[in-house]
Structure 1
Amino acid sequence: MDGVNPAQRSGAAGGTPGPAGPAGGVLGGAGGLVPVSRVPGGELAAVAAAADFAVLPVGAVEWHGPHLPLGTDLILAEGFAAESAGDGSAAESAGDGSAAESAGDGAGPRGVLFPAVPYAACPGQTRPWPGTVAIRPEIAVGYLADVIEGIVATGFSRLLIVNGHDANMSTVRAAMEWVSGRRTASLLLVNWFQLVTPAETTDIYGDLPARGHGGAYETSGVLGFDPDAVRLDAVEDLPPKPKLPVSHPYVLVESRPDPWQGWSGHISLADEAIGRRVRQLAGARLREIVAAWVAAPSPAAPTADPLPTAGPEGA
């Protein structure tokens, strides 16, 4: 499993560059995405000028249990990234379980898709399990900062980062903050997992917990994009990690809680129909966020000049 969305494997995420030049041919007049890997170097400046934003998927190669592929987080990050532009026709076309034919056939913002960042810092609870490829957090932050700054320097002042791996939220955020103090940029980070609320997953799955690592919710997400990569019959339900009996926010990091097999959850709750529902719901919200973001004013350069005045003029 290479973690590549079938829609991207066929080149459908952005279509085929046309002969009419970068703005009219590569991006076209309608919303959608084009892979930067297919943009000729001589046309890059024009493509960047015509695009509303660039998008960078970030995932991980990590154990999610015997039932999910090691590229789970990549499948989800790349899959939702491919649906960040356009009008949602890609998700709708998957209603019969087939791969999306296009993410760019409808109206909406126009974007340029960069290759995914496949490796990430991974928690101690998954690093011992087979297939997890983890990099040190300090390396991850520096690497991500270089990638983000490189994309901005290429001419894309607006960059959407679509995340499929929870541990990336801290490292990507740190890298974004660093770059925003060096470059004029609007950097937007969206975690697909948060696009469907806990109340909604309760409505979908019932009262049994579904949002654990490798659990029914994450399994459904993969089923929505690549059902052939999932083995629902490979595991039995495993109760999720216990939570503290308090309502206050906290962060608890443990080496190996009980029960835990590098994943947890009631996998029997997941199926392809729910996967398509999760994909459509989360994808629609991602496009709503992107539409509001590209319509917002661009930021100023990162400078403190001029400084605010201490009082009324002439004081």
Structure 2
Amino acid sequence: MKATEIHGRELEKLSDANFAVLPLGSFEYHGPHSPLGTDIFLAEGFGNLVDSDLNGVIFPTIPYTACPGKTSKYKGTVPVRPSIIQEYITDVVEGILNQGINRIILLNAHDGNMGVSRVVAEYVTQKFENASFLLINWWQMVEIDKADELGLVNTKGRGHGGPYEMSATKAFKPNLIHVEKDDSEFPDVEKYSSLPYILVEGTPKSWDGYTGLIQQTSLEMGNKIVGEAVENMNRLIKNWIND
């Protein structure tokens, strides 16, 4: 059920919903082979594949957000200051909660939204004690070791504009991904540690506004990635609302 299609005389549909979905995108350079709306297409695409039987209501995707320095320098990216997007999302989710919906999924398609999503959720639950937020980054709905099985070779391919992300985008927008044979490819950089860590750089290695062995991008792999992610996403949501 889409919030934009609910009529004024049907407002009870909002309070009767089990949860709301707020997709989070970005307007950002993803390389010469990819559309600027990549994260918008992914956020909307996965939002529309939330199982309707779970009785959720899908709100419009937030298209503009904070972008890191490593993509903001590329023409095409339209960034928003982090402080602004934090306040903006806070107002949006409080508006949704005021409709009588206590559960909200922040369905994210942009790495730069991860921190702000957590901050907003933690802040808003101070004011709304019955509120519950589920933060979903779509790319984490497929296990890391699935890379080889899905057809990625010598790379996990999960970087910005890489074959994992662009194959998934191709599943939603098959005519908007155009990898040419002369497009540069960037192999994975050796990790500093096997333990989780966060590295923020203005100009990363193996990078030109995107990364990865993009020649591996394919519709077939994209359909596999999206299918696996959607199945796991809906299982997670079902467990959450039935808890």
TM-score (norm 1): 0.73
What percentage of aligned pairs have identical amino acids? Answer: 38
1:268 to 2:211 alignment: no
Structure 2 unaligned segments of length 5 or more: list them: none
1:54 to 2:1 alignment: no
Q: 2:155 touches 2:187 (CA, 8 Å); kept in 1?
A: no
Which residue is 2:60 aligned to? Answer: 115
Which of 77, 92, 97 is the aligned partner of 1:147? 92
1:43 to 2:37 alignment: no
Q: 2:155 touches 2:188 (CA, 8 Å); kept in 1?
A: no
Which residue is 2:125 aligned to? Answer: 180
For these two proteins, the number of residue pairs brought into alignment is 241
Q: 1:240 touches 1:260 (CA, 8 Å); kept in 2?
A: no
Which of 180, 188, 203 is the aligned partner of 1:233? 180
Q: Distance in 1 between matches of 2:16 and 2:22?
A: 18
Structure-2 change in CA distance of 1:149 and 1:268 (3 Å)? same
Q: Which amino acid aligns with 2:43?
A: A
Structure 1 unaligned segments of length 5 or more: list them: 1-33, 87-107, 297-315
Q: How does 1:267-306 map to 2 (within 5 A)?
A: 267-296=214-243
Root-mean-square deviation (CA, aligned residues, Å) is 1.4
Question: Shift in Å at residue 235 of structure 1?
Answer: 5.2
Q: Which amino acid aligns with 1:187?
A: F
Q: Which amino acid aligns with 1:37?
A: T
Q: Distance in 2 between matches of 1:51 and 1:154?
A: 10
Which residue is 1:74 aligned to? Answer: 40
Structure-2 change in CA distance of 1:130 and 1:241 (3 Å)? farther
Q: Distance in 1 between matches of 2:77 and 2:14?
A: 35
Q: Which amino acid aligns with 1:133?
A: V
Question: Shift in Å at residue 255 of structure 1?
Answer: 1.2
Question: Shift in Å at residue 48 of structure 1?
Answer: 2.1
TM-score (norm 2): 0.94
1:199 to 2:165 alignment: no
Structure-2 change in CA distance of 1:234 and 1:187 (3 Å)? farther
Deviant stretches of 4+, over 4 Å = none
Q: 1:58 touches 1:163 (CA, 8 Å); kept in 2?
A: yes
Q: 2:15 touches 2:99 (CA, 8 Å); kept in 1?
A: no
- Post-superposition Cα deviations, 1:200-244, rounded to whole Å, max 9, x if no partner, equal 013321223411110000011101111111112275242246244
Which residue is 2:113 aligned to? Answer: 168
Q: Distance in 1 between matches of 2:51 and 2:105?
A: 11
Which of 54, 65, 74 is the aligned partner of 1:129? 74
- Post-superposition Cα deviations, 1:8-29, rounded to whole Å, max 9, x if no partner, equal xxxxxxxxxxxxxxxxxxxxxx
Q: 1:63 touches 1:131 (CA, 8 Å); kept in 2?
A: yes
Which of 167, 181, 185 is the aligned partner of 1:220? 167
Which residue is 1:138 aligned to? Answer: 83
- Post-superposition Cα deviations, 1:32-88, rounded to whole Å, max 9, x if no partner, equal xx21112122321x10232111111000000000111001001111100111123xx
Q: Distance in 2 between matches of 1:210 and 1:124?
A: 21
Question: Shift in Å at residue 245 of structure 1?
Answer: 3.3
